[in-house]
Structure 1
């Protein structure tokens, strides 16, 4: 056994003992998961003890922050909902500061001279000073993602708590934010009826400059104004990720309104989602993946990149938000596999922010650095989840194994951002990428997906066969409520049986079990009684499905040959 693997096993024990969930059912990968369990618990340890996670005191209340930027914070929530008792207080501070027109602020900074500079750059609607808390909040005007991300964060809170009273308080503001995105002339394309933004690198927050930063300053211009600010004269385009996020937010609003018993609102937001999906897929799909940008205004002449053929980081997010069809999703995943196979840019991994990088630079970021062709675990984590859920289970395992190697290489600390040669880069909070990977392990490899809230309706799809594991003891719990799902998986290749016992908070289980390649089901029992099932083929993978199992404890046994 390697020394570091022994260390990771100790970390697994320590992380498992952390007070990360209420009650006695912490989220954990237990017996039989071996190196995956050690890696999972290393990620838990890193997410809990990151420098970004802290308690702040704003608006007269304590707030549990995961990252001081609400965007990053929400992206980390996809993991922290399984670990942290308080996932709402920091999000609530940002929704409380929503402006009268519906927009949100990006982040808070202390009142110091360097950051006060931005108060002079942007219109008043894009900043606010909080004298009592000695902080300021800004919205980077070019950003077009906060309104859908706030809905995503609210949806995580609802899932983890089931608190409809809390939901009823804030859902009008969530709706107002999406309406702002879909009506403001600086956010909404009248031509395409889609969300637009200035020409950034995918969802990132800065635009290209006509010259180098130094030359821009020599011309008497402010760099931050040039890369962040927009007005009615700013060239803009349609970026697929903004629209997949808004599509997902409309679906989430529909689900939230259904939970509140408002069927009319649920129908309205479902209709909005369907329209967004069709328009985005019709406009942005280039035949293989989603094009980086589709022009709403002409692309600036100084931006030297082929927008149609540039692959960008929101493509895996698009899959996990449900935007593409299954065939489109599989095409995107194959695109990344091909990049790995060709070893483009002599890169250690294919998880590029954009590919190919922009030459000779993008706002002074050289090719292969940061988002300009840099490699990051944000993409890798989302891609792994998409791979597991769309018939590329072995590729999902391959990504996780390479993440484990990176974690080991860096002494049990997994950085998020790299140059193609594997050198660690700067600029992104590590816990954003760590959260994406932990989410992929829970919802992809372990296959626990909450279809509603509080695990009342669960889709359970153990994929341990793809990882070569014959045993797994899995518990997935929500930090705020302690509601959980627990299953034990046991595969006996000699007897050709798969046994799964499950229990938890669910009222309904939809169970799906991956069969070994080339095998077929011969017999299935549920709680010792013969039971019917259906088969589902996902690409080349075959799943046995048993839907609508009632809540309680169950034992499922399958025989195959």
Structure 2
């Protein structure tokens, strides 16, 4: 009982009611979490757009970027609905969504006359424009992810009911549009871009294209019947994830038939993607649906691209495949660490001599993307590479410290910051690695009703950690205090907050294997030892407000 009271006392000092944060006992990791939140607020402060008299607030004016920021900001921001809602409300008659919204006089992103008119919408009164870049194939699955984040943070089933028909129409569009769907492979296709990015290479230097044809956007962002297309693994892991999330959302409103349909769609897509896109070690950059253009000069089957890390966290690979991808990155780091700051390449090896004007080692053409670092760290924690996950976080912290405690999204291999994507997108991925990977708090439902808890603080050398994860949109929290006492041969966790049920997965020191017993509120409970690679976890269930002990 004495230890139980100590646990309560350690929960109390968390600053601010309902704020996501790690306690001061988590050292540099808690400090980094708070720094990242400050960075995201600086890079992507909420901006309001008014359309038809309705206000919408976005972190970033692109749906893609907004959703990736929302992945982290759902734990910090009270307003989570309206940004995604803007794009859902403007769904096209065909079923697809626009990429972004901009002022109509924006000189950089004014593409009013570049593409087929179906890809453009103008709001004269509001002086706004929306576009879909035709080459993009990921926007629809991101909309599903956005709605899922909103549901998790708010528990708003009326919002889900309102927009499920919109999401279903978008998924059906992807599965039937010959521009998006490969008849040959029954997978999602796109033009030959760098992974999920929005521009294709050109058959000539970009400055020559500009002289001959004008703005290169038409050449690098458009698709038509003659555009060479291929299967990019990241699109398909995104739709696999979206189908599963759509299934879960249908289950939430009690439509079991639709839930089953979309679960089956996910399983079928997973089987096809893992058959055609896997090269034995990781996912191929592209699988040709049309012949690869000769001017790319690239072996697409043996090119490592950024979505491999996303693929793991979306659940596309088997456990063995996930471990192989992580091992590929570990091995790559050992080869390049003397000449490059990290293994988190946008693509490796880079396209040479350039890619649509982007030189090797810059931007996504061989630049170092901290979003890959964040996603890879989260994957490492969840697949038995806990020490590698901490190593990545430590390097991200050091990289941030070198630049006045600011983490950029892209660096050149020598560590020089580079531009091209919102920093908050990458910062959000690192926040997820800290909360869901290191702290090990994964909400398997909404409002923390069912939580999977896998604290991995032992990999940092810490003996104690206080954690609060919150949804400010609903005021719900999940709190725990973790204490590892090697001398007393125990791990103790005090749980509090709004969780109803917790699946505890307690990472054990190896000396405890075969000897550890689980207790909930000082009563022994059934527990099962499960190995994740070489990492032993003791699994048992608990109420959301309880005192847990593992003793050996």
Q: Tell me the TM-score normalised to structure 1 length.
A: 0.94
1:472 deviates by 0.6
Residues 1:94 and 2:87 are matched in the alignment: yes
- Pick the aligned partner of 2:107 from 111, 114, 128: 114
Counterpart in the other structure of 1:12: none
Q: Quick one: distance in 2 between partners of 1:419 and 1:50?
A: 20
Unmatched segments (≥5 aa) in structure 1 = 1-14, 18-23
Question: Where in structure 2 are the equivalents of 1:258-407 lying within 5 Å?
Answer: 258-343=251-336, 346-407=339-400
Give the 3-state SS of the residue equivalent to 2:480 in structure 1: strand
Q: Quick one: distance in 2 between partners of 1:478 and 1:132?
A: 36
1:484 deviates by 1.2
Counterpart in the other structure of 1:427: 420
Give the 3-state SS of the residue equivalent to 1:286 in structure 2: coil
Q: Quick one: distance in 1 between partners of 2:443 and 2:44?
A: 29
Unmatched segments (≥5 aa) in structure 2 = 1-13
Q: 1:355 to 1:16 in 2, by over 3 A?
A: farther
Relative to structure 2, which stretch is displaced further, 370-379 or 489-498? Answer: 489-498
Q: Quick one: distance in 1 between partners of 2:45 and 2:115?
A: 27
- Pick the aligned partner of 1:525 from 498, 519, 525: 519
Aligned length: 538
Q: Quick one: distance in 2 between partners of 1:310 and 1:238?
A: 14
Q: Quick one: distance in 2 between partners of 1:165 and 1:217?
A: 49
Q: Quick one: distance in 2 between partners of 1:408 and 1:153?
A: 31
Q: Quick one: distance in 1 between partners of 2:452 and 2:521?
A: 19
Relative to structure 2, which stretch is displaced further, 521-530 or 479-488? Answer: 521-530
CA contact (8 A) 1:397 1:467 kept: yes
Residues 1:558 and 2:525 are matched in the alignment: no
Counterpart in the other structure of 1:449: 442
What are the superposed Cα offsets for residues 389-432 of structure 1, whole Å, 9 maximum, x if unpaired? 00000000000001111111111211110000101001110100
Q: 1:406 to 1:113 in 2, by over 3 A?
A: closer
Counterpart in the other structure of 1:6: none
Q: Quick one: distance in 2 between partners of 1:367 and 1:140?
A: 24
CA contact (8 A) 1:52 1:68 kept: no
Q: Quick one: distance in 1 between partners of 2:499 and 2:133?
A: 42
1:220 deviates by 3.3
1:116 deviates by 7.2
CA contact (8 A) 1:460 1:512 kept: yes
CA contact (8 A) 1:446 1:463 kept: yes
What are the superposed Cα offsets for residues 515-546 of structure 1, whole Å, 9 maximum, x if unpaired? 11343233332111122210010001000111
Q: Quick one: distance in 2 between partners of 1:53 and 1:369?
A: 29
Counterpart in the other structure of 2:10: none
CA contact (8 A) 1:345 1:420 kept: no
What are the superposed Cα offsets for residues 191-225 of structure 1, whole Å, 9 maximum, x if unpaired? 11000000000000000000111111233354111
- Pick the aligned partner of 2:533 from 534, 539, 542: 539
CA contact (8 A) 1:80 1:479 kept: no
Q: Quick one: distance in 2 between partners of 1:345 and 1:408?
A: 20
1:344 deviates by 6.3
RMSD, matched Cα: 1.4
Residues 1:214 and 2:188 are matched in the alignment: no
Question: Where in structure 2 are the equivalents of 1:1-16 lying within 5 Å?
Answer: none
Counterpart in the other structure of 1:7: none
Q: Quick one: distance in 1 between partners of 2:150 and 2:501?
A: 21
Give the 3-state SS of the residue equivalent to 1:246 in structure 2: helix
Q: Quick one: distance in 2 between partners of 1:128 and 1:113?
A: 14
Q: Quick one: distance in 2 between partners of 1:222 and 1:518?
A: 64
Counterpart in the other structure of 2:23: 30
Relative to structure 2, which stretch is displaced further, 124-133 or 257-266? Answer: 124-133
Give the 3-state SS of the residue equivalent to 2:299 in structure 1: coil
CA contact (8 A) 1:241 1:317 kept: yes
Question: Where in structure 2 are the equivalents of 1:113-152 lying within 5 Å?
Answer: 114-115=107-108, 117-152=110-145
Give the 3-state SS of the residue equivalent to 1:248 in structure 2: helix
Q: Quick one: distance in 1 between partners of 2:362 and 2:73?
A: 28
CA contact (8 A) 1:59 1:93 kept: no
1:506 deviates by 1.6
Q: 1:485 to 1:194 in 2, by over 3 A?
A: same
Give the 3-state SS of the residue equivalent to 2:107 in structure 1: helix
CA contact (8 A) 1:483 1:504 kept: yes
Give the 3-state SS of the residue equivalent to 2:417 in structure 1: coil
CA contact (8 A) 2:43 2:422 kept: no
Counterpart in the other structure of 1:203: 196
Q: Quick one: distance in 2 between partners of 1:513 and 1:522?
A: 10
Q: Tell me the TM-score normalised to structure 2 length.
A: 0.95
Q: Quick one: distance in 2 between partners of 1:439 and 1:241?
A: 19
Give the 3-state SS of the residue equivalent to 1:102 in structure 2: coil
